[in-house]
Amino acid sequence: AVAAQGEEDKLIMDFADIFAWEIDFYMDPRPGDRFRIVVEKDYVGETFVRYGRILYAEYQGAGRRLQAIYYQGARARGDYFTADGQSLRKAFLRSPLQFTRISSGYSRARKHPILGGLRPHLGIDYAAPVGTPIWSIGDGTVIFRGWNGGYGKQVIIRHRNGYASMYGHLSRFGPGIRQGKEVLQKQVIGYVGSTGLSTGPHLDFRLRRNQAFLNPLRQISPRAASLEKAEMLPFQESVRPVLSFLDDSQAPAPAARRKVAVLRSQGS
């Protein structure tokens, strides 16, 4: 629907990134879901050059409505919040890469494709092409980077509150990734491969807490900090003009080189 309005793939990816903590856009969307986007667009004369920031994003589907409003305020970096000041950011991403399918799920007894017999598979296998970037699901510290037996090339990251995430069968490691390195959420820590005991390119992703393995698909990640009470009035004043764009199908076009566009799915 975004492409049908003459927009580029980058806008679709930026929109998906905003809701990455709530929606897995490779699995969750269904026909009939709706969206609205308010985005800055830079021009030279009448020629479109690049997208600026998405100021507002909305997604309706699966019986719920999600809103994201950009706000910087006194924070070191801007972020996206709901209309009542709740942060959209969570401690962990829903998935650590853009994948094509889940080739093997979490199981206490899975027939091993190479070794045979029933063995626990305490993680998720994400099938993806060789070289697909892999992200850290959250802020943390690299505690292992190297070859780890059947996992092949692997990275392990320690997070707060006893969590650790594990990324196996990598083809190569991300730039600067080494033991002791501090990483940020969605930083590239490696690339999909098929090293170790593997039948094809995929990521073996595992999550554990206090040494106990967890099913990543069933974990509910806590939210990041929301706005303080003192920030709510400046936040509301900042977002009011952005929300006013949604009242009309055409946003006002300033005389400057940056314009604001409003995009909607059909019927919204």
Q: What are 77-102's pLDDT values in tens digits?
A: 688 999 999 888 888 988 899 877 88
Print the domain residue range for 137. 101-218
Distance of alpha carbon 115 from alpha carbon 255, whole angstroms: 66
Distance of alpha carbon 104 from alpha carbon 6, whole angstroms: 37
Tell whether 106 and 205 lie within a shared domain: yes
**pLDDT in the model for residue 180:** 98
For the segment 154-182, the average pLDDT, to the nearest whole number, is: 96
Instruction: Please tell me the pTM assigned to this model.
Output: 0.66
Q: Is residue 60 part of a domain?
A: yes
Overall domain count for the chain? 2
Using DSSP's 3-state secondary structure scheme, residue 87 falls into strand
User: Residue 67: what are its φ and ψ, rounded to 5°?
Assistant: -125, 145
- Enter the DSSP assignment of 221: P
Tell whether 153 and 126 lie within a shared domain: yes
Tell whether 12 and 84 lie within a shared domain: yes
pLDDT at 258 over 60: no
Tell whether 119 and 204 lie within a shared domain: yes
pLDDT at 193 over 90: yes
**pLDDT in the model for residue 143:** 98
Tell whether 190 and 228 lie within a shared domain: no
Mean predicted lDDT score pLDDT of the chain: 84
Distance of alpha carbon 22 from alpha carbon 89, whole angstroms: 9
* Between 161 and 101, the higher pLDDT residue: 161
Tell whether 76 and 129 lie within a shared domain: no
Question: Between β-strands 163-173 and 188-192, what pairing exists: parallel, antiparallel or unpaired?
Answer: antiparallel
Kindly indicate the confidence band of residue 4, based on its pLDDT and cuts at 50, 70 and 90.
Answer: low
Summarised one tens digit per residue, pLDDT across range 13-57 is 888 888 877 777 666 667 778 888 999 988 888 888 889 999 999
